[in-house]
Amino acid sequence: MNGQQTLLFNDLKRSYECDAHEINNAIQDVLKSGHYILGPQHNKFEADFASYLGVSDVIGVACGTDALALIFAGTQHIGRVGPSARIITTANAGGYASVAARQVGMQVEYVDVDEQTHCMSVVSLESALTWSRDSVAAVVVTHLYGRVAELPAIEAVCARYRVPLVEDCAQAAGAIQDNRRAGSVGLASAFSFYPTKNLGALGDGGAVATSDPKLADAIRSLRQYGWQGKYKKVLPGGMNSRLDELQAAILNVRLPRLEAQNARRREIISSYRTFASAKLRVLSADDASHAGHLAVVVTSDRDGLSAHLARHGIMTDIHYPIPDHRQICVEGSCASPSVDLHVTDTISKQVLSLPCFPQLESDEIRRVCDALASF
């Protein structure tokens, strides 16, 4: 440890401390207001986040996984797919879309990812859709580690096969590609405000973004028991999944800081790239089409690198060690029969995430750089 303090992988206390005064005031205001669910802070956040993203509707929900499940359920209600439909997604993104799909009775099919970006491979997607496009409810593309996936090409494939595109933006809040915010491109998109995300609450939270008014109506109803107005149940399959007022108030404090913090995250990743030894590849985060959520290094000696960093007091994590199709509970999901997942399998043994949060001090960043260089 060289007598140094341990550098945490993520230090959420520091992120609270940097705007503690405003957050404390915002919480006090909610406590005194008497509105705790779907009140003015919630409404303000929905409106502000919608205009920030450039969509007509944002619907605040309880977490990112619910956002995905509600999108899938909503597409059933607006008549795009039957109940036994499947989604097509990637297997290296934490498995959230798979959990959400199964929650609403859908099957999951996986396609491979691109070796350079680790986001969905367009070739692999096309080959899965060529093989069979029947009853595909949605293609779910994850903007992994904060990098916006190859959207124009994926959009074109989805349009050609008439399959809706859903964006998982849990790691990419604030990213922008060709003047379009991540989350404004597909039929709908899901956001998570889990505390470690770029736009993080101090508890669970999530949102759906869409510019389809019918889908927005269905999801507004489904997030609250299937109601249309109070106590009138109009849709089956409703649940209780709302963004609470306290979390919304915290997000209202943090939304205006998102862009500057994303830029800081990208600077950290660029420093790591500059100093990394020849044995390592740090995935790039060069411009605003990357939200800088995670600093990920690819190496054939992951165990060696994580042990080396631990000896220097630097904590790391793995996103994600087990691809979805290798999980024990894979009931009802499979690799697309027409593609193999060898890139997904290979990189799951090679990725390692380094500390990356906006409050890292320059001497801490330097410490990580030195350790990377000496590996």
Report if residue 90 touches ligand PLP, rule: CB under 6 A.
no
List 107, 192, 261, 289, residue binding ligand PLP (CB under 6 A): 192
DSSP assignment of 10-48 equals --HHHHHHTTHHHHHHHHHHHHHHS--BS-HHHHHHHHH
Q: Give how many residues touch ligand PLP by CB under 6 A.
A: 14
- Interface region with ligand PLP, contact rule CB under 6 A, candidates 19-27, 163-171, 255-263, 298-306: 163-171
Which run of H or E residues covers position 136?
strand 136-142
Report if residue 65 touches ligand PLP, rule: CB under 6 A.
yes
Label residue 195 exposed, middle or buried (CB < 10 Å: 0-12, 13-18, 19+).
middle
Report if residue 357 touches ligand PLP, rule: CB under 6 A.
no
Both tokens of 266, joined, read 């990208």
Report if residue 30 touches ligand PLP, rule: CB under 6 A.
no
- Contact (Cβ atoms closer than 8 angstroms) between residue 145 and residue 319: yes
List 52, 61, 64, 235, residue binding ligand PLP (CB under 6 A): 64
Report if residue 96 touches ligand PLP, rule: CB under 6 A.
yes
Report if residue 247 touches ligand PLP, rule: CB under 6 A.
no
Smallest gap from residue 142 Cβ to ligand PLP (A)? 5
Smallest gap from residue 124 Cβ to ligand PLP (A)? 18
Report if residue 142 touches ligand PLP, rule: CB under 6 A.
yes
Residues 253-292 that bind ligand PLP (CB under 6 A): none
Q: How far is CA 235 from CA 76, 225, 228, in A?
A: 11, 8, 8
| Residue-wise burial string across 349-371, b where 16 or more C-beta atoms lie within 10 A, e elsewhere | ebbbbbbbbbbbeeebbebbbeb
Residue numbers at the binding site for ligand PLP (CB under 6 A)? 63-65, 93-94, 96, 142, 168, 170-171, 192, 194, 204, 206
